[in-house]
Structure formats: structure tokens, C-alpha cells
Structure 1
Amino acid sequence: MEKIRANREAAAGAAIGLTVAAAAATYYVIKRSNSRVRPNGKFPLETLPNDAYDAVIVGAGPSGSTCAHFLASAGARVALLDKETFPRDKYCGDAVCTPGLNILEEMGVLKELVDNNEAHFADSGGFVSPSGLTYIGQSKERLGGAAACAVKRTNLDKRIAWKARHVGAELKEGFEVGKENPTFDKQTGLWMVKSTEGKTVKGRVLVIADGATSKLAMQMGYCTEPPKGVCSRAFIEGGTHNVDFDGVCFYQRESLPGYSAIFRHPNDELNFCYYLIPCGKDGMCGDVSEADLKRLHEGALKSDPFISQAVGPNAKVERMKAAALRLGSQGVPSSYDDHLLIIGDAAGHIDPLTGEGIHTALMGGKAAAQTILDMRAAGDYSKLSTRIYEQRWMKAFGHDFAFSKKGAELIYKYPILLDACANEMQRVGDSMMTKWAEVMTNMRPKTYFLRPDVAIPMGFAIVRELWAQNVSKRPDLYKTGSSL
């Protein structure tokens, strides 16, 4: 009897093992198939008419032009449309983070920017906390390279667009998409895009890359609401200011989780910018709204003790200019559809904590190109294939958006967290500054701050800061008017 029981238990165990193995194998096969473009589609390469493109990209900003570059480099036919003529301006903080710099280097654009003195790599940088704690370090030495680079969008955008044209994309400037939505023919699998002047282009895939306000995504119903964030920009003429650092962020308590920043460009020119990050009540950016941007921007230049003293009384500052920010996929529930992708600012690919979106635009543009090339080879452009693009950008950077949103909420509710970070930087130096720089420039995920080797020292830093503010009554350096 015991032998029979043992045999039954062994058989049951084997059956359970086989079931688990089968389930695991099935899960692996399903997961693997869901992460691949479907083969043997309805529209193999030979079915593309001679007068049509593999992709029609609406918007030749960083995301659209990057997508066009990688497509054209691989032999695809690309129409890259933009309503403006290059060079043209874009209001932005102008900082390109390391992941974006890597892609610019891969495309050969970074060398052109450097050779033409259009890029300045940040060496000395840091931030000022809500209580005025300051740290400016040399994180470049620890990172092995600059965490960010300042490039005017006038120069950045033209260089990428022209590079895309150089490798074979057809850059069609002055092509403004008309009020009528692009039309899609299911039989031929082609989009028809018409300009306000009556010009038309046809393509297998429509790529929407027309910026944060994305008129096209809005009118086609893929975007459900206007952007809720906003940023400002004002250039400061070189030689008229007192700034001796490359990049510093200023976290004024009133505008948290937003912040202002100064970035140094070539020829000693500065970019002063202000970011208002959606947080708290609907329509608000913490305790302020978009309507407060001009007041905050101009007020910081005049009366912020750190900014006003760094800029100096003789600075020649241009008039403030502003632009909308669509952060963390806000208002864009899906970035793909049959024969269609949405990329860059139009898809809300801007970090909800930092407001940075150039590097994510470049990363998303490359992911879109890779997906289109896979679909081109397989002949399938259905949702089952275009969704691979969303999986790719989520893996590259989108997974971090939820943590960025939480981070913004925490900073808004507990400004002492930023004070503690500055406290820890002052205590240990560039090692902490480097960790901060890596997280804020997308080199590491926001969850990096949860690692024991980071979280434990930060916990002690918070305790020290609580003691300093509530027991020792350390003065608020913002209120006492201390400078950098």
C-alpha cells in the first residue's frame, strides 16, 4: 500500500510539474509572440506603390526627424513634413540628457553641433533647495562624461532634420497639414495626407509628431485634452551676467514641484527657463497655475536671491517666451493604431518630474523607426504590430513616468526631501550629486532612490534636516537672501 501511495504521489507530483512547465512555456510563447511584429501581413514591401512612402511623418522636430533618419538609413522611403522652414525656433530649456546625446552621436549629429560651436557640455552643475541649501559639483568627472548638454533648439532641430534629409528622407518644409483629417484606405493600406495648399502625400504608416499641442492628434481623436504643463525661456547675452556654473536648478517653494534653471550655452550665453509641472488639483501646477508663469519667471530674475545675484544687474535678458508641456502621456491613452504611431511631445513623452523631453523624443523616435522597419519587413501594420512600438518606449523610458508623477507629488507635499538631498550633497560631495544627476537625466530609473545604499543615507539626511529646521531653527537661506 505504501508503495502504491508513493507511486501515486510521484505521479501527482509529475503531473503538477508538467502542468506548471506547460503553463510557463505557454506564457513564454504568448509573451514572446506579443512582443513581435506579426509575420506574413497583407501589405508586403512589393505592394507599396511607386508614388507612396513607407512612412509619412508629420512634424520634423527631434522625434520626427530621428524617426526619419533611422528609417531612411535602413532604406525606407520617408516623407518628413513640417509647416515651418528650417532653421526655426522652439521654446525650451535646451538641455539634452545623456541618453539623447548617445543617439545624437549615433546619428552623427552631435559631432556637427560640436564642430559648429552649437553645444556646451555641463561640467559644474547642481541645485538650490527650497530652503536655500546649495550644492554645485563636478559630476562630469565621476560620470565619465557630461550628464547633459545645452543646445539651442534652433540648432538642434535643423541639424537632425538636415541629417535625416542627408541620409535619404524627403524633407518637405512649409507643408502644413490641412483641416481635413488624413484619410486611410483599408484596401490599399495607405494614408493620404493633404496640405493647406492642396499638396498630397501617401504612405503606409502615419507618424504624428507635431508637438505638445498636436493639432493633428487632437482633431483625429487620439488626444483627449490640451497639455497641462508649461515652460518659459529667455536667453541672456554672454558677458553681461555673473554666472560661473554650467547648469543649476532652483526649487522655489511657491512653484513646487516646478522649478527654474539656468543653463550655459556656447559663447557664455545663458538660457533661463521656468517649468510648471501639473500636480495637485486639476488644472493646477502645485499651488500655482499656467497664468502665474510670467509673474514667476520675471519675479525670479528680479528678486530671487540666488538667481538675481547670479544673473547680475547688467544682464541683457530677452523677452520671455513660453511653450506648452504634455507630460507623462497626459491625454494620450494610446500611442498606436492601425498603420499609425504617435511620438515625441505629441504622445506626451516628457518626464513628469523634470519636464525634460528631448532625450525621450529621440529615444521614442528611434523606437518608432525600429518598429516600422520590422512591420515593413513583415508586411503587417495592424494594431497587433504597431503596439510593439508602445512596448518599446515603455521599456526604454515610459515605465518611469508613474514614479516621476509620484516624485512630483512628494516634492510638492514634502519640500524637505529636496532640502535633505542638498544636505546629503553638502555632506558627501559629488558622489551624491552624481546619483541625483543620473536619476534626473534618465540614466537611472527613479526607483534608484529606493535602493538601500541610497535610501538609508537619505533617511539619515531627512532626520538631520528635520532637526536643523525644527530644533536648531536654521535660517531659511532663501529668506535671508544668501547667494551662490
Structure 2
Amino acid sequence: MSVNRTVLTVTGAASCAAGAYVLYRLISRKTEPKNEAKKIWPKDSLPEGAYVACVVGAGPSGSTAAFYLAKAGLKVALCEKESFPRDKVCGDAICTPAHPILKEMGVLEEMFEKNLARPADAGGFVSPSGLCYIGASKKKLGRAACFACKRMHIDMAMAKAAERKGADLMESFEVTGATFSEEEGLWTVTSSSGRTVRARTLVCCDGATSRLATSLGYCTEAPRGVCSRSYVKGGTHNTDFDGVCFYARESLPGYCAIFREVEDELNMCYYLIPHGEGEGQCGSVKESDLPRLHNDAIKYDPFISRAIGPKAEVGRMRAASLRLGCQGIKSTYGDHIMICGDAAGHIDPVTGEGIHTGMMAAKSAAETIAEMVESGDFSEEAGRAYYKKWMKQFGYDFGMSAKACNIMYRFPILLDACANEMQLQGDAMMSKWAEMMTNMRPKSYFLRPDVALPLAFATLREVFHQYVRRRPTMYPTAQEVKMAQKAS
């Protein structure tokens, strides 16, 4: 009896195990990805008249991608909706990581030889409580951390450099749509004038609002950041520095910046950095507050109004959207497609700077496409190499930048501590700040003991000055500005 019971138990267990195995195989068969053969597109499969790549947008990112694609001997179309020269709202600061690319393109020397660029040798920043330091980080770095050049000049020079290298530059080509043929492995890009371009790969570099990336589903929401710009005529202001950032408490984590350009002209910008859950929320202010903040800074900010002066000839304020830290981007790559620059949100969330990061990403995109041409594989899997490259270059740092924005907003005293330490160390500390702001070093550099410890002591000093000694702040509150407005 006990033997039969044992046999039945073993048989039942074996049956259950067999049933479970069969069920597992059936389920896994349904869930396992199908190993479909990749479509390979050899070099000689490209039809006559078609391009290896169509780059949409001839800003710094687009022209960089086109230049390196042409340099690799690939047929590339560079489509720009306007005709050169054309203006773009920007802070006009070209940071150090972009300089080697511009040098290779022949644009760096061209801008300085034609007196269209000015290095930022002397600069600094003003903290939320009004502590300031202006020095010359160039003495420590051995070079200027950035230079100022109007987008009207540098964008055209870069596009023409790509054209000289072999790219087909198509001006006044406003892209209205793009469709992909699975059978041919080709994009057909259409324009408002009826012209079309056919290409194996599509590179979207059409700016923060990117109509193309949005229509194709890669961009899922509107950009949340915004910046202003006004030019101030040379010889009418009181500025004697090359570049300064002003961190008024009201607009944190955003800031105002003034850069001096050639012929003593000033570029004044106000950056509002997205922070908070509310729609259009940028810290304690909203996107809609930008015109007020910009104009109030000129009139009532004690530092900016002094730099601008009472007789300054200030140009009309213009504004532009900012897509920071890949906000709203589903992916920057896919089958036969890559997204670069402002269209991909390749803008540092702390600084609002994106020219150099966009150019670095665009160069990586061109290198990846060249690899695709050799292998014949233009799949999403192959495109992931592009993503890995730009993430390694600056993408991981964006995460630190986002955290830094939150910290700056919640603890403005840390910016005061930076200014405090600069006043103590001088250009040695200023150069470290400049390296961080221009992506020469990652934000994590400020966590190193030799940097973090002095800043910790500076924070303690500021706590003592602000909360024990009750040192008055130099920056007016929003309420004080309103009172000044009523008085005037």
C-alpha cells in the first residue's frame, strides 16, 4: 500500500513537472522576440540622386554633422529653412569643448581673423545675496573658457564650411514632413516649396521646438525653458568685463548673463530654467515673467543697471525656447534616424548652454552613420552607438545638472559660498567655476575633497554672516522692485 502511494506521488510530481515545462515552453514561445533578419543596405544599394544623410537644420549641430559626414566621403544634404545670413536668439557664448571642432572646420580662425569673435578673458558672477567676484580665469586655464560670437556670423561660417567639404547646402528649404519607405530603406523629406530630398538616414537638428522630431513621435512635449536677448550698443554702456552671470534670488535656478562682443557691443540674456511641477514653472517665477524680469533687471537690478548705465542704447528684447536636459525626448535615435542639438534637448540644465554639447553630439552622429554605411546596418540597434557616445561625453552630467538646479533653488546660500570662496582664493576658484560652467569638467568635480571642503567652510562662513551677523543683502527682493517701480 505504501509502495503504491509512493509510486502515485512520484508519478504525480513528474506529471506536474512535465506540465509546467510544457506550459513554460508555450509561454516563452509567445513572448520570445522574433529573430527577424536585419535588413542590410550595401553602399551600392543607394539609388541615384539619393543621399546617405539628410540633415535638417543648419545651426551649429546640423552643420557639424554635415561637415563630418562630408569629410567621411558621404553624400549629405544640409537643409536650412532660411537663407544666410540669418539671426538666432542666443547668448552667443561658444564654450571650450566646441573649439577643437570649429578649428577643424576652419571656422575658429575665420571668426577671429574677421574680428567677429571676442574671447571672454575677464568674467565672474554675482551671488543671490550680492557677493561678487570678477577675475581673469584665463590666467589659470591658459585660455579663455569661451568666446562671444553672434549666431548670424558663426552659423553661416559653419554651414559654408560644411558646403566646402562637400555637403549640398540647401537654403530656403523649409521642411514640412518626412516619410520612410521600409521597402527602399529611404526617407523622403518634403519642403514647403515642393522640393524633395531622399536619404538613407535622417538627422533632425531643427531646434528646440523641432517640428520634425515632434511629428515623428520622438519629441513628446513642448520645451519648458526660455531665454531672452537684447543687444546693447557699444560705447553707450558702463561694462568693463567680458562675461558675468547674475543670480537674483527671485529667478533661481535661472540667471541673467551679460557678454561683451566685438566693437564693445553687449549681449544681455535672461535664462529661466524649468523647475517645479506647475505648467511653465521656473522656480518661483513662470515663463510668462520673462519680459518683466528682463526689463526690470535693466532698470532696478543694482549690478546690471550699473553695468548697462543710464545712457545705454538697448535693443528690442527677443525670446527663444530652451529644451534642457533632453526634456520631453522619447529617444534620440531610431531606425535610420538621429536627433541632435536643441531638438534633442542637448542643453545643460544648469547653464542653458547648448552649442558645444550639440556640436559634440552631431559629430558622434556623423561618426555613427559612417559606421552604419560600412556595415549596411541602419537599424535602431546600430543607432544606439550614437546614444552611448553622447551620453559618455556629456549626457550623464545632465543628471548632476538637474540635481544642481534643485539645490541652487532650495539653498541659494551655496552660490553665496562660491562667491565667498572666490573672494578668498581669487582666480584659482574662479577657474574651477568656469570649467564647470563650460563643461570642461563635470559637475561632480565640485564633489572632490579639494573643492568641496573649502566650499563647506565657505558655507559655514556665509551662515555666520547671514544668520548671526545679519549682513544685509545687496539684491533687492521682488517686493522692493515693485516699490521702486511705483516710485518711478
Aligned mates of 2:81, 2:448 — CA distance in 1: 46
Conservation of the 8 A alpha-carbon contact between 1:41 and 1:378: no
SS in structure 2 opposite 1:233? strand
Give matches, 1:133-282, under 5 Å.
133-178=131-176, 181-282=177-278
Q: What residue is the counterpart of 2:421 in the other structure?
A: 424
Identity level (%): 60
Aligned mates of 2:434, 2:330 — CA distance in 1: 30
SS in structure 1 opposite 2:462? helix
Alignment match of 2:405 (pick from 386, 408, 417): 408
Q: Is 1:55 aligned to 2:53, yes or no? A: yes
Alignment match of 1:108 (pick from 106, 109, 113): 106
Amino acid paired to 1:428: Q
SS in structure 1 opposite 2:259? strand
Aligned mates of 2:123, 2:101 — CA distance in 1: 23
Alignment match of 2:341 (pick from 341, 344, 352): 344
Aligned mates of 1:222, 1:281 — CA distance in 2: 22
Q: Normalized against structure 1, the TM-score is what?
A: 0.90
Amino acid paired to 1:458: L
Q: What residue is the counterpart of 1:89 in the other structure?
A: 87
SS in structure 2 opposite 1:282? coil
Q: What residue is the counterpart of 1:67 in the other structure?
A: 65
Note the C-alpha offset of 1:141.
1.0
Conservation of the 8 A alpha-carbon contact between 1:280 and 1:409: no
Q: What residue is the counterpart of 1:451 in the other structure?
A: 448
Q: What residue is the counterpart of 1:388 in the other structure?
A: 385
Q: Which runs of 5+ in 2 are unaligned?
A: 1-36, 481-488
Q: Is 1:46 aligned to 2:32, yes or no? A: no
Q: What residue is the counterpart of 1:20 in the other structure?
A: none
SS in structure 2 opposite 1:305? coil
Note the C-alpha offset of 1:40.
9.4
Higher Rg of the two aligned structures? 2
Amino acid paired to 1:171: L
Q: Which runs of 5+ in 1 are unaligned?
A: 1-38
Aligned mates of 1:129, 1:416 — CA distance in 2: 8
Note the C-alpha offset of 1:361.
1.1
User: 1:10-51, CA deviations, whole angstroms, 9 ceiling, x for partnerless residues?
Assistant: xxxxxxxxxxxxxxxxxxxxxxxxxxxxx9961111111121
Aligned mates of 1:344, 1:170 — CA distance in 2: 20
Q: What residue is the counterpart of 1:316 in the other structure?
A: 313
Conservation of the 8 A alpha-carbon contact between 1:126 and 1:137: yes
Q: What residue is the counterpart of 1:9 in the other structure?
A: none
Aligned mates of 2:414, 2:401 — CA distance in 1: 14
User: 1:305-361, CA deviations, whole angstroms, 9 ceiling, x for partnerless residues?
Assistant: 000011101101101000000000000021000000000000000001110001111
Conservation of the 8 A alpha-carbon contact between 2:301 and 2:476: no
Note the C-alpha offset of 1:426.
0.2
SS in structure 2 opposite 1:476? coil
Aligned mates of 1:44, 1:426 — CA distance in 2: 61
SS in structure 2 opposite 1:275? strand
SS in structure 2 opposite 1:477? coil
Amino acid paired to 1:197: S
Conservation of the 8 A alpha-carbon contact between 1:212 and 1:347: yes
Note the C-alpha offset of 1:281.
2.4
Conservation of the 8 A alpha-carbon contact between 1:133 and 1:422: yes
Aligned mates of 1:400, 1:244 — CA distance in 2: 33
Q: What residue is the counterpart of 1:124 in the other structure?
A: 122
Aligned mates of 1:150, 1:41 — CA distance in 2: 46
Conservation of the 8 A alpha-carbon contact between 1:40 and 1:379: no
Note the C-alpha offset of 1:479.
4.0
User: 1:272-295, CA deviations, whole angstroms, 9 ceiling, x for partnerless residues?
Assistant: 000000012232000111100000
Conservation of the 8 A alpha-carbon contact between 2:60 and 2:158: yes
SS in structure 1 opposite 2:303? helix
What count of residue pairs does the alignment treat as equivalent?
441
User: 1:423-464, CA deviations, whole angstroms, 9 ceiling, x for partnerless residues?
Assistant: 000011111101111011100000001111111111101000
SS in structure 2 opposite 1:381? coil
Note the C-alpha offset of 1:202.
0.4
Amino acid paired to 1:394: M
Aligned mates of 2:428, 2:48 — CA distance in 1: 57
Alignment match of 1:362 (pick from 344, 347, 359): 359
Aligned mates of 1:316, 1:173 — CA distance in 2: 33
Q: What residue is the counterpart of 1:5 in the other structure?
A: none
Amino acid paired to 1:356: E
Q: Is 1:353 aligned to 2:350, yes or no? A: yes
Q: Is 1:437 aligned to 2:422, yes or no? A: no
Note the C-alpha offset of 1:74.
1.4
Aligned mates of 1:328, 1:282 — CA distance in 2: 18
User: 1:96-149, CA deviations, whole angstroms, 9 ceiling, x for partnerless residues?
Assistant: 110012211121110111111111000100000000000001100110100011
SS in structure 2 opposite 1:397? helix
Note the C-alpha offset of 1:243.
0.3
The list of structure 1 runs, each at least 4 consecutive aligned residues, that deviate by more than 4 angstroms after superposition, is none
Q: What residue is the counterpart of 1:329 in the other structure?
A: 326
User: 1:368-409, CA deviations, whole angstroms, 9 ceiling, x for partnerless residues?
Assistant: 111111111111100111111111110111111110000000
Alignment match of 1:475 (pick from 455, 472, 476): 472
Aligned mates of 1:88, 1:405 — CA distance in 2: 32
Note the C-alpha offset of 1:257.
0.3
Amino acid paired to 2:276: G
Q: Normalized against structure 2, the TM-score is what?
A: 0.89
Aligned mates of 1:206, 1:129 — CA distance in 2: 44
Conservation of the 8 A alpha-carbon contact between 2:118 and 2:149: yes
Amino acid paired to 1:255: S
Note the C-alpha offset of 1:184.
1.0
Note the C-alpha offset of 1:477.
1.7
Amino acid paired to 1:232: S
Conservation of the 8 A alpha-carbon contact between 2:127 and 2:415: yes
